[in-house]
């Protein structure tokens, strides 16, 4: 009774989420095998990885804002808007790919900047600030677009369609960017200050950290990552769509993936690789459920249950706990559990 519970309590959240990913993969392998299919076939791997990339981009950004103690609910609208901006600017011409990408990401960055300024300048919590900015963007989308618009040239569709072997290009880009951000978190002042401001804004301030900068940059980066997701969707659809973001439900799903990855919703603790695993768990579950033709309602039930169970597991870990001195039998513990190390590239 105490064995598993105590062991989980001492584990790093990122370790737990990867164990969970392995468990989910193992169960899925069996289930898919029962349906007479192979989850590790190239086609299946491609499907799963394709499923990770859009949500992956959004969740990478969401991880940054959550770590810094904020939230971003405007991401679905940024996704839709950037898909439109890119498709309209490109207008089917290969030569206009670069301006399209740059303009789309600039628009995303501007929205992120607005989010960040409202949060840092007007001291409005990220939840409300990004909800408001998101609604403004939504209003713009609803009044100016009736349906899909613009066209993406065939060359740009490579981003969404091609890959190396079974690994889609978009998934590679996503993983490279996740690795980059993990490195940024571990080895740059921006990264360290992101954790510090999220974990204790006043502590950070009194230590000489300029507390607004990490918040502002996290919001800008989050929107840019949502913009990349928008570009990817435009590349896959061939057009821009005003509803593609909201249909994907990227706001809540990305927050769920971040939390599933072991990042504390309050900020200050978490990891980029945890988020990647969280996204992967969702992708594997989705893939298995489509293979098994589970009805859509049950799909959401499973997703919801996974999130709740995961967070319940993390909260069992007593994080500021005193070290136990005696086992339940009263015998003295011989070893002092090592204090968990907080450094390392995984952050």
Tell me if 203 contacts other proteins by CB under 8 A. Answer: yes
Tokens of 276: 């990647």
Q: Give the binding-site size for other proteins (rule: CB under 8 A).
A: 38
Output the smallest distance, CB 339 to other proteins, in A.
Answer: 4
Q: Which of residues 207-266 bind other proteins (CB under 8 A)?
A: 207-209, 264
State how far the Cα of 282 lies from the Cα of 17, in Å rounded to an integer.
Answer: 12
Tell me if 326 contacts other proteins by CB under 8 A. Answer: yes
Output the smallest distance, CB 256 to other proteins, in A.
Answer: 21
CB 240 within 8 A of CB 100: no
The residues pairing with 332 across neighbouring beta strands, listed in sequence order, are: 326
Where would I find the beta strands (DSSP E) of 10-136?
none
Tokens of 282: 């969702």
Output the smallest distance, CB 341 to other proteins, in A.
Answer: 5
State how far the Cα of 191 lies from the Cα of 267, in Å rounded to an integer.
Answer: 13
Tell me if 30 contacts other proteins by CB under 8 A. Answer: no
Measured from the CB atom, is 159 or 195 closer to other proteins?
195
Query: Which of these segments, 76-84, 127-135, 184-192, 290-298, binds other proteins (CB under 8 A)?
Result: 184-192
Measured from the CB atom, is 41 or 188 closer to other proteins?
188
In degrees, to the nearest 5, what angle opens at C-alpha 78 toward C-alphas 75 and 79? 85
Query: Please, what's the b/e burial string for 75-94 (b: 16 or more CB within 10 A of its CB; e: otherwise)?
Result: bbbbbbbbbbbbbbbbeeee
Between 61 and 80, how does the x/- string for binding to other proteins read (CB under 8 A)? --------------------
Single out the residue of 69, 64, 113 nearest to residue 201, CA to CA. 69
- Which whole-number Å values give the CA distances from 133 to 40, 54, 74, in the listed order? 42, 22, 7
CB 75 within 8 A of CB 245: yes
Query: Which of these segments, 71-79, 137-145, 159-167, 190-198, binds other proteins (CB under 8 A)?
Result: 190-198
* Selected binder of other proteins within 3, 4, 164, 202 (CB under 8 A): 202
Tell me if 196 contacts other proteins by CB under 8 A. Answer: yes
φ/ψ of residue 331, rounded to 5: -75, 145
Single out the residue of 266, 250, 261 nearest to residue 71, CA to CA. 266
* Selected binder of other proteins within 37, 96, 213, 269 (CB under 8 A): 269
Quote the DSSP letter at residue 347: -
Measured from the CB atom, is 240 or 268 closer to other proteins?
268
* Selected binder of other proteins within 164, 165, 332, 334 (CB under 8 A): 332
Measured from the CB atom, is 43 or 344 closer to other proteins?
344
> Which residues sit at the interface with other proteins, rule CB under 8 A?
186-189, 191-193, 195-196, 199-200, 202-209, 264, 268-269, 319-320, 322-328, 330, 332, 339-343
């Amino acid at each position: 009774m105490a064995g598993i519970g105590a062991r989980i309590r001492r584990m790093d959240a990122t370790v737990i989420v990867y164990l969970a990913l392995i468990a989910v993969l193992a169960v899925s392998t069996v289930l898919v095998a029962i349906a007479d299919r192979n989850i590790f076939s190239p086609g299946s791997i491609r499907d799963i990885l394709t499923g990770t990339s859009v949500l992956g981009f959004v969740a990478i950004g969401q991880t940054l804002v959550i770590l810094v103690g904020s939230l971003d609910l405007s991401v679905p609208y940024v996704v839709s808007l950037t898909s439109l901006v890119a498709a309209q600017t490109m207008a089917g011409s290969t030569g206009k790919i670069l301006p399209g990408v740059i303009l789309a990401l600039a628009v995303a960055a501007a929205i992120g900047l607005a989010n960040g300024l409202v949060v840092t300048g007007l001291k409005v919590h990220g939840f409300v600030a990004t909800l408001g900015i998101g609604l403004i963007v939504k209003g713009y989308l609803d009044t100016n677009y009736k349906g899909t618009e613009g066209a993406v040239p065939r060359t740009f569709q490579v981003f969404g369609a091609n890959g190396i072997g079974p690994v889609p290009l978009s998934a590679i880009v996503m993983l490279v960017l996740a690795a980059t951000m993990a490195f940024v978190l571990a080895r740059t002042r921006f990264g360290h200050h992101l954790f510090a401001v999220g974990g204790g804004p006043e502590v950070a301030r009194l230590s000489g950290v300029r507390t607004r900068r990490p918040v502002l940059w996290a919001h800008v980066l989050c929107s840019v990552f949502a913009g990349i997701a928008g570009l990817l969707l435009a590349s896959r659809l061939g057009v821009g769509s005003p509803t593609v973001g909201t249909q994907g439900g990227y706001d809540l799903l990305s927050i769920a993936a971040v939390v599933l990855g072991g990042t504390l919703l309050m900020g200050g603790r978490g990891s980029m690789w945890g988020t990647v695993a969280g996204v992967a768990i969702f992708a594997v579950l989705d893939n298995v459920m489509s293979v098994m033709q589970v009805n859509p309602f049950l799909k959401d039930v499973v997703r919801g249950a996974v999130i709740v169970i995961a967070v319940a597991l993390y909260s069992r870990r007593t994080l500021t706990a005193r070290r136990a001195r005696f086992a339940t039998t009263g015998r003295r513990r011989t070893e002092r559990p090592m204090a968990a190390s907080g450094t390392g590239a995984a952050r």
